[in-house]
């Protein structure tokens, strides 16, 4: 095995880079914290440890991976402080924006996002993470990272090859058939996620909604977390509570937030799940 040289990357101002806020707000399922709050995970086949300390953020990963993976993955080009200020103009959301300071919208690999959010439907986060991890163990590539055994998220071709018995071992229930069908579509090119990503958001959403097992919430999550559509606004049970909490009864139009709807959604969701 070729030894990979590691490099520690520093994010000087982590006011808008909180690993706990980023990884615990329901947008990703492959990052886990140790007792010291250091998160270990893997994205685009590259493992890393991520943490905050003394007002700075740190990413420990393969040499050169900051520019090739993590800069885009953590959306570090975008000024989230300015975005928070803009969303906070809606005064009722100011507490949620302050509470969610440090959240960033991850730019996840599109196939991983599609598969993971198909698994997420009518499911809770611990169980979603468990099913996703089983899938990675089943047909992902094994990587040794700092003495820890990690597994990459399997590509669609590997998932498409799984037998019915292997899919049953995931204990994903009715979602297994949707996982398999989506994998076959991505593998044979009939589902072209790069093309869908290039479409305007409403057109991209229509394409996703045509897939088996993809409803409004799953499509919106894939748009926001896998296809970079920041104007997508996923709504689940928590968001229905949040909308009522912040805006009361009656019709709610998320387009009021324009291209920042997805970030506003994350602030609302995070606040509602964690407020005392």
Residues in a beta bridge with 32: 40
Hey, what are 88's tokens?
A: 């906070």
Phi-psi region of 151 (alpha: psi -120 to 50; beta: other; left: phi over 0): beta
Q: Which of 205, 217, 241, 276 is catalytic?
A: 217
Residue 243: closest CA among 271, 223, 216, 215: 271
Hey, what are 57's tokens?
A: 């953020």
Residue 205 sits at the vertex; the CA angle it makes with 200 and 209, to the nearest 5 degrees, is: 155
Q: Respond yes or no: is residue 217 known to be catalytic.
A: yes
CA gap 133, 30 in Å, rounded: 7
Residue 151: closest CA among 14, 274, 30: 30
CA gap 265, 253 in Å, rounded: 12
Helix (H) or strand (E) run with residue 150 in it: strand 148-151
CA 164 to each of CA 111, 113, 156, 168, 270: distance values in angstroms, whole numbers, following the listed order: 20, 22, 16, 6, 37
275 φ/ψ angles, rounded to the nearest 5 degrees: -65, 150
DSSP state of 272: H
Name the residues annotated as catalytic.
217
């Amino acid at each position: 095995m070729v030894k990979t040289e590691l490099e520690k990357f520093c994010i000087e101002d982590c006011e808008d880079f909180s690993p706990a806020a980023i990884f615990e707000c329901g947008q990703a399922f492959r990052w886990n914290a140790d007792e010291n709050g250091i998160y270990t995970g893997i994205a685009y086949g590259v493992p890393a440890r991520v943490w905050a300390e003394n007002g700075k953020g740190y990413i420990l990963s393969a040499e050169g991976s900051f520019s090739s993976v993590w800069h885009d993955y953590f959306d570090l080009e975008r000024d989230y402080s300015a975005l928070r200020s803009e969303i906070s103009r809606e005064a009722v959301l100011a507490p949620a924006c302050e509470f969610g300071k440090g959240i960033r919208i991850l730019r996840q690999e599109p196939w991983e996002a599609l598969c993971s959010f198909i698994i997420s439907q009518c499911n809770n986060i611990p169980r979603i993470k468990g099913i996703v991890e089983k899938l990675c163990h089943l047909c992902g590539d094994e990587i040794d990272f700092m003495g820890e055994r990690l597994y990459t998220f399997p590509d669609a071709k590997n998932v498409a090859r799984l037998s019915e018995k292997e899919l049953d071992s995931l204990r994903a229930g009715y979602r297994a058939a949707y996982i398999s069908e989506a994998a076959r579509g991505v593998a044979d090119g009939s589902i072209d996620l790069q093309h869908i990503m290039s479409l305007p958001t409403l057109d991209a959403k229509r394409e996703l909604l045509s897939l088996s097992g993809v409803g409004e919430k799953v499509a919106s999550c894939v748009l926001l977390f896998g296809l970079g559509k920041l104007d997508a606004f996923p709504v689940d049970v928590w968001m229905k509570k949040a909308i009522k909490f912040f805006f009361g009864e009656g019709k709610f139009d998320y387009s009021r937030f324009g291209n920042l709807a997805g970030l506003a959604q994350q602030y609302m969701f995070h606040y509602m799940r964690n407020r005392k």
